[in-house]
Amino acid sequence: MNLTVYNTLTRRKQKLKTVHPGEVRMYSCGPTVYSRAHMGNMRAYLFMDTLRRVVTFDGYKLIGVMNITDVGHLTSDADDGEDKMQKAAEKTGKSPWEIAEHFTSLFLADIDKLNIGRPEIIAKATDHIEDMLEFVEALVEKGYGYETSDGIYFDISKFPSYGKLSGNARLNDNIAGARVDVNEEKRNPADFALWKKAPKEHIMQWDSPWGRSYPGWHIECSAMSRKYLGDTFDIHTGGVDHIPIHHENEIAQSEALLGHPAVSYWMHVEFMQVDGRKMSKSLGNTYTLDELAQRGYSPMDFRYFCLNTHYRKKLNFTFEGMDSAKIAYSRLLSLLCACKNSSEKGDPEIIGEFKKKFTEAVNDDLNIPLGMGALWTLLKNPPSRGIYDAAIWADAVLGLSLDKCEVAEDIPDDIKSLAEERWAARLAKDWAKSDALRNQLASLGWAVKDGKEGYELKKL
């Protein structure tokens, strides 16, 4: 149990020390279920899954919670605009509950396809209205919350360490008014909504001391994490976009209520870009798993693509990159098939060294790319059943369904030999020989497509 993780709060890597020995309690920000999750969203849940896998790989008991936001997330992070669920309801003519049920089902089906393990507790916001209301009432009683004509707001001036996660105090900035008119009733521009009073036409509303109303977005995570994980728990995960507002606000309201930190380690995954640009629906450069499948990419191709970049680095999505990932993943399965069918046991020393390097890599702030590099190095050795077993052992962290290596395309041995000879020539930069072997393969009815880490053979 030598796992080190990067803590956004302290801005350094730290050895994981849990509140309860041998047990990790973790909260992960889940989806707002007003639309279909896209691949950028899925990177965050792949990160969550990788962390969960490493934790259990290290022998910890895991209690994980993920929220489903089905109310309270406004269209502006500045606590203005419509509730996203309400807006989707008006657009489609369906009720918010119908929309939430539909997109929750699609989300859970998508994470299953990606081998993302479901957290032990999946908590819907609408099932925890009373928990959130009690939390807000307690903050008001302590003097942190105040009432305006449109809701209950948290007074950040009462919380001197506001901004410690992002390093931005925000007390006097104009973020809250950057996209909308400043709410003149706020004591500070960055004060955030704990509870919103509902207009009569608002579909999702509940009774409260302030009339018919609904929760703000941030309060659900504080209330539900406390309910299921206790007043202090180990890890809170999310995307880097959550740092300056959502998670900053969570820290403020939780610590204001409790009088002490609620979370020991804050961990955040970086953005996914598309062709070097920001991913957004308005630019038309977001894709769902179904849309990737229509282009010939499997969920495991996408998982492989994501695992090749460390979670704290931006990931640039390109279809060329997906092609390379598809080829490399196919080659990985092909090599493992040869190992699975081998009668050789393998060199215990080589396999032991791989396991050591892999374990060190994944425990160093989830350095999965380095761990995968160790696996590829192992596969340069002659095929053996021992190598296959070691790869399946590593797949407990990778989650790439490496035990399904029999799905690799049935390619004749003579074609495989020619392709391997050509690949070796290419690596040696013997372009004449490489081209000649490519032409020979084509004359035998096989096309070869190269990627960064291997090649793909297809029948012409």
Query: What are the pLDDT digits (tens) for 135-157?
Result: 999 999 999 999 999 999 999 99
In percent, the amount of the chain with pLDDT more than 70 equals: 93
Neighbouring-strand partners of residue 147: 152
Predicted pLDDT at 183: 77
Q: 401 falls in which pLDDT band (50, 70, 90)? A: very high
Name the pTM for this structure.
Answer: 0.87
3-state DSSP of the chain: CCCEEEECCCCEEEECCCCECCEEEEEECCCECCCCCCHHHHHHHHHHHHHHHHHHHCCCEEEEEEEEECCCCEEECCCEEEEHHHHHHHHHCCCHHHHHHHHHHHHHHHHHHCCCCCCCEEEEHHHCHHHHHHHHHHHHHCCCEEECCCEEEECHHHCCCCCCCCCCCCCCCCHHHCCCCCCCCCCCCCCEEEEEECCCCCCCCECCCCCCEEECHHHHHHHHHHHHHCCCEEEEEEEHHHHHHHHHHHHHHHHHHHCCCCEEEEEEECCEEECCEECCHHHCCCCCHHHHHHCCCCHHHHHHHHHCCCCCCCEEECHHHHHHHHHHHHHHHHHHHHHHCCCCCCCHHHHHHHHHHHHHHHHECCCHHHHHHHHHHHCCCCCCHHHHHHHHHHHHHHCCCHHHHHHCCCCCHHHHHHHHHHHHHHHCCCHHHHHHHHHHHHHCCEEEEECCCCEEEEEC
Q: 76 falls in which pLDDT band (50, 70, 90)? A: low
Predicted pLDDT at 423: 86
Look-up: residue for tokens 């004060």? 191
Q: Is the pLDDT reported for residue 20 higher than 90?
A: yes
Read off the pLDDT of each residue in 201-210 and give the average, rounded to a whole number.
Answer: 90
Read off the pLDDT of each residue in 39-48 and give the average, rounded to a whole number.
Answer: 95
Range from 88-102, 370-384, 433-447 carrying the lowest mean pLDDT: 88-102
Cα distance between residue 150 and residue 247, in whole Å: 23
Predicted pLDDT at 175: 42
* Residue 224 near residue 67, CB atoms below 8 Å: yes
Q: Residues of CATH 1.10.730.10 domain(s) within the chain?
A: 274-408
Predicted pLDDT at 414: 83
| C-beta contacts of 285-292 below 8 A and 24+ residues apart | 286/38, 286/39, 286/40, 287/38, 287/39, 288/36, 288/37, 288/38, 288/39, 288/110, 289/39, 289/42, 289/110, 289/113, 289/114, 292/39, 292/322
Sheet holding 213-215, edge to edge: 145-147, 151-154, 192-197, 213-215
Neighbouring-strand partners of residue 195: 152, 215
CB atoms within 10 A of CB 132: 27
Q: Is the pLDDT reported for residue 116 higher than 80?
A: yes
Range from 97-111, 176-190, 270-284 carrying the lowest mean pLDDT: 176-190
Closest CA to 301 of 115, 96, 67, 86: 115
Report the chain's terminal Cα–Cα distance, integer Å.
50
Predicted pLDDT at 406: 61
Predicted pLDDT at 176: 39
- Taking CA 229 as the corner, what is the angle to CA 227 and CA 230, rounded to the nearest 5 degrees? 70
Q: Is the pLDDT reported for residue 435 higher than 70?
A: yes
CB atoms within 10 A of CB 124: 18
Q: Is the pLDDT reported for residue 458 higher than 50?
A: yes
Predicted pLDDT at 409: 55
Q: What is the pLDDT of residues 46-66, one digit of tens each?
A: 999 999 999 999 999 999 999
Cα distance between residue 162 and residue 144, in whole Å: 13
Q: 363 falls in which pLDDT band (50, 70, 90)? A: very high
C-alpha separations of 300 from 285, 305, 366, 375, 446 in Å: 21, 8, 19, 17, 24
Look-up: residue for tokens 């489609």? 92
Predicted pLDDT at 425: 87
Predicted pLDDT at 229: 98
Of residues 198 and 364, the one with the higher pLDDT is 364
Cα distance between residue 321 and residue 348, in whole Å: 35
CATH class of 4-269: alpha beta
> Rounded to the nearest 10 degrees, how much is the dihedral formed by the CA atoms of 124, 130, 134, 137?
100
Half-sphere exposure of 289 (CA within 13 A, CB side): 21
Q: Residues of CATH 3.40.50.620 domain(s) within the chain?
A: 4-269
Q: 44 falls in which pLDDT band (50, 70, 90)? A: very high
Residue-averaged pLDDT of the chain? 90
Q: Is the pLDDT reported for residue 265 higher than 80?
A: yes
What is the bridge-based pairing of β-strands 233-239 and 213-215?
unpaired
CATH 1.10.730.10, domain 274-408, yes or no: yes
Q: What is the pLDDT of residues 153-180, one digit of tens each?
A: 999 999 999 999 998 754 444 343 333 3
Structure-block tokens of residue 317: 């999505």
